[in-house]
Amino acid sequence: MSIWKYADRISPIDAASRITLGEGQTPLVRSRKIGPQAGLPNLYFKLEGTNPTGSFKDRFAAAAVSHMLQTGKSECIATSSGNTGAALAAYSAAAGIQCRIAIAESAPVGKLSQMLAYGADIYRVRGFGLDPEIDRRAFRFLKRLSRQPGRALQVSAYVFSPEGMSGVETLGLELAEQLEGLQHVFCPAGGGGMCVGVARGFATRDRHDPLDQCPAVHCVQPEGNDTIATRLRGGFGRATDVESASKISGLQVSRVVDGHLAIEACRFTGGTGYTVTDDHIWNVQKRLAREEGIFTEPAGAVALAGALNAAASGELPRDALTACIVSGIGFKDTVAVDRINNDIECPVIDLATLESEVA
């Protein structure tokens, strides 16, 4: 199975151009401990880390690279804070397309190594992802570069790559099939594209009235990268640029990007915005590993952190059917793993000592 199960809902791609590595159809599992402890017995996790390169960005890359093949493009020009680059590098390799990626300065080494393994050319840009002005300059340069024949700019955002982002809408389509009556979906947000994609996926799944049985889609961001969430909660119609102060890799998107669209889409579904501290995110990441057996990068714990805040404030009803999107696997961010394990020692002992302890 792949996202092409929903080929009629994705930006039109002919069958011969469709690239897949088996993305999509990811598990939805019920929380065994964290949810019940928080008074949320019907809390579920959508495990996007089981995608081929370890994140939901494979949905984007499958659609984006397939669209490039269909339109005769031979070189992918991209920008990424980590997971998008890994996904585009992998799918470009599968399609025989060259991939060149400008990387956010803070991207984890594990994600850089993954891109290099797929054969991508990567360039880390100082200040990129942290400073809105540098972001603007970088995007202007990449747009100029991508205008050359045979090239296409791929950024995981509707404002840049709507064809690729149509693949992200399959998240909403899958959730609708996996959990009938779903009432709330919590999404992590950097640029906001996932929020838009999930909302649109629900809205178009049966071509019905978009408000009919559509769950509330909530946007959750780190406090230090609050381009969307507080504006959504406050009733504003537009997102805002920030100077990113968060340490959560993958969500350090200082520019608005899809922020305006995310506010519109979430509000349309009845959703709102939540901000969470980096410390809370890291704590929830550890809890997911140790209490649920779910190993995610910090960005993948953001949605749950928001849901727990919503439950604590009484905004999320106790019995509501709720899903949190766990956006990526934990193996690619070694610094985050070290943070989880900072209270653990793993000494080397001889076999005789072990035998005596067991006896």
Specify whether 313 is located in the same domain as 179. Answer: yes
Non-local (6+) Cβ contacts of 319 within 8 A are 41, 42
Spatial distance between the Cα atoms of 322 and 78, rounded to a whole number of angstroms = 34
Specify whether 27 is located in the same domain as 71. Answer: no
Specify whether 169 is located in the same domain as 46. Answer: yes
Tens of pLDDT, residue by residue over 182-225, are 999 999 999 999 999 999 999 876 554 444 568 999 999 999 99
Task: State percent of the chain over pLDDT 70.
Answer: 96
Amino acid in position 138: A
Specify whether 99 is located in the same domain as 151. Answer: yes
250 pLDDT higher than 80: yes
Residue 359 inside a domain? The answer is no
Tens of pLDDT, residue by residue over 63-98, are 999 999 999 999 999 988 789 999 999 999 999 999
Task: State the pLDDT at residue 115.
Answer: 92
Spatial distance between the Cα atoms of 38 and 288, rounded to a whole number of angstroms = 13
Task: State the pLDDT at residue 344.
Answer: 67
Task: State the pLDDT at residue 124.
Answer: 83
Task: State the pLDDT at residue 105.
Answer: 75
pLDDT band at 169 (very low <50, low <70, confident <90, very high): very high
Spatial distance between the Cα atoms of 71 and 146, rounded to a whole number of angstroms = 14
Task: State the pLDDT at residue 205.
Answer: 65
Task: State the pLDDT at residue 343.
Answer: 67
**Per-chain mean pLDDT for the chain:** 91
Final residue in a domain of this structure, among 129, 161, 193: 161
Residue 295 inside a domain? The answer is yes
Tens of pLDDT, residue by residue over 283-326, are 999 999 999 999 999 999 999 999 999 999 999 999 999 999 99
Q: How far does CA 103 lie from the centroid of its chain?
A: 16
Task: State the pLDDT at residue 209.
Answer: 45
Residue 351 inside a domain? The answer is no
148 pLDDT higher than 80: yes
Number of helices (H) and strands (E) in the chain: give both, helices first: 14, 10
Specify whether 316 is located in the same domain as 223. Answer: yes
Task: State the pLDDT at residue 282.
Answer: 95
* Domain total in the chain: 2
Specify whether 293 is located in the same domain as 232. Answer: yes
Residue 358 inside a domain? The answer is no
Final residue in a domain of this structure, among 136, 161, 186: 161
Task: State the pLDDT at residue 46.
Answer: 98
Which residue would you say has higher pLDDT here, 13 or 254?
Answer: 13
Instruction: Provide, for the chain, the percentages of residues in helix, strand and coil under a 3-state DSSP scheme, each rounded to the nearest 5.
Output: 45, 15, 40
Specify whether 333 is located in the same domain as 190. Answer: yes
CATH number at residue 186: 3.40.50.1100
Residue 354 inside a domain? The answer is no
Specify whether 263 is located in the same domain as 325. Answer: yes
Residue 179 inside a domain? The answer is yes
Specify whether 124 is located in the same domain as 256. Answer: no
Task: State the pLDDT at residue 80.
Answer: 82
| Sign of the dihedral defined by the CA atoms of residues 210, 212, 213, 215, in that order | positive
Specify whether 150 is located in the same domain as 187. Answer: no
pLDDT-wise least confident of 56-60, 99-103, 264-268, 286-290: 99-103
Which position has the token pair 């982002």?
A: 165
Specify whether 44 is located in the same domain as 168. Answer: yes
Task: State the pLDDT at residue 108.
Answer: 77
pLDDT band at 110 (very low <50, low <70, confident <90, very high): confident
Final residue in a domain of this structure, among 126, 161, 196: 161
Average pLDDT of span 342-347:
69
Which position has the token pair 């193996």?
A: 331
Q: Which domain holds residue 82?
A: 57-161
Residue 352 inside a domain? The answer is no
Residue 357 inside a domain? The answer is no
Specify whether 84 is located in the same domain as 98. Answer: yes
| Contact status, residue 11 vs residue 163, Cβ threshold 8 Å | yes
